[in-house]
Amino acid sequence: MAKPDILMPYRLLPIAEAELEKRFTVHKLFEADDKDTQLAKISEKIRGVALGFGPFGPDLLEKLPNVEIVAGFGVGYDHIDVPACLGQNVMVTHTPDVLNEEVADTAIGLMIMAIRELGQAEQWVREGKWAERKPYPTTQATVRGRTLGIFGLGRIGKAIAKRAEAFGLDIHYYGRSKQDGVDYTYHASLTELAAACDTLMVVAPGGPATQHAVNAEVLKALGPTGVVINIGRGSVIDETALIAALEDGTIYGAGLDVFEDEPNVPDALLKLPRVTVLPHVGSASQATRDAMALLVADNIKSWFETGKAITPVPEMKK
């Protein structure tokens, strides 16, 4: 029996490539000199797509008339046109759960770095200022006694909240609805959440529903002692409003692992003294990335072996 043909438009981690090659005929489009010509030769044979770091939209979907599944890499899937796939009866999957703990660790670490200015303090040492007997200025903010507002209390949000409890933080949250069995204080709007806390943790996914949800009004509600942490998606924060709020003291500081136009970070953000930036490394340990990549492969294997995916995106469950 012939192996199903799988398209790999972008490079995946070697562990996933090797796993897929055991059971499928894998076409690595990223290796082709002329991708359009190569795709035209194989398009009708392709029954699945193993997606790495890159978009999947209608332009590619329409060239794959027999595709059955698009297996995405990452818990976020705003780079995949899910409505278009739904319209063509194409299953879409992502890789939740396997990265929850890693991202939650990063979120707490970034929060502490931003509030205590640890990245800036390290740079102070590297630049030789400490050796010149210049102590780093005492930070005006502390983690102690803060109220953490979590925007997006899903799997990762709950893992962050559990860690934050150990720091003695009072935890509030906002989402589409109040959750049963959750003891944290719920707020009916994001602005209301911001007004009730001084540390806003953004864990929400990207997409039209959350585009610029953290805007000037929300930042004003957060207030002058407020710190914004974003480990969700860059599109959730209006970066222009954020820069203005930081420059004029509307809020105190920010810790950002994601940005609107990655890998480009606005110079204005980088020049601000109380902004900590990371290059989208929330889940970027080798162990976690390998687990994510294997889940991409496992979703495709499960689809062709059982007709069911392991981790379909929520829209596919309706």
pLDDT in tens, 20-72: 999 999 999 999 999 999 999 999 999 999 998 889 999 999 999 999 999 99
Mean pLDDT on 134-140: 96
* pLDDT reported for residue 53: 83
Residues 171 and 122 in one domain: yes
Residues 229 and 154 in one domain: yes
> In the structure encoding, which two tokens stand for residue 256, read together?
């950002």
Residues 24 and 135 in one domain: no
Q: Is residue 282 part of a domain?
A: no
Residues 252 and 291 in one domain: no
**Cα first-last separation, the chain:** 34
Q: Is residue 46 part of a domain?
A: yes
Residues 115 and 48 in one domain: no
CA–chain centroid gap for 116, Å, is 23
Residues 170 and 195 in one domain: yes
Q: Is residue 84 part of a domain?
A: yes
pLDDT in tens, 226-257: 999 999 999 999 999 999 999 999 999 999 99
Q: Is residue 57 part of a domain?
A: yes
Residues 270 and 298 in one domain: no
pLDDT in tens, 267-293: 999 999 999 999 999 999 999 999 999
Domain count, the chain: 2
Residues 265 and 143 in one domain: yes
Mean pLDDT on 194-218: 96
Which residue range is the domain that position 115 belongs to? 100-277
The residue among 260, 204, 198 whose CA lies nearest residue 224 is 198
Mean pLDDT on 127-132: 97
User: Which band of pLDDT confidence, cut at 50, 70 and 90, is reported for residue 317?
Assistant: confident
> In the structure encoding, which two tokens stand for residue 231, read together?
């480990």
| 277-283-289 Cα angle (round to 5) | 140
Q: Where in the sequence numbering do the catalytic residues fall?
A: 233, 262, 280
SS3 28: strand
Note the pTM of the prediction, 2 decimals: 0.92
Residues 22 and 59 in one domain: yes
Share of the chain above pLDDT 90, in %: 97
Residues 88 and 110 in one domain: no
* pLDDT reported for residue 65: 97
Q: Is residue 91 part of a domain?
A: yes
Q: Is residue 132 part of a domain?
A: yes
Q: Are 288 and 98 in contact (CB under 8 A)?
A: yes
CATH of the domain at 207: 3.40.50.720
CA distance 271 to 131: 24
Residues 246 and 313 in one domain: no
The residue among 37, 38, 35, 60 whose CA lies nearest residue 49 is 60
Q: Is residue 58 part of a domain?
A: yes
Q: Is residue 165 part of a domain?
A: yes
Residues 212 and 158 in one domain: yes
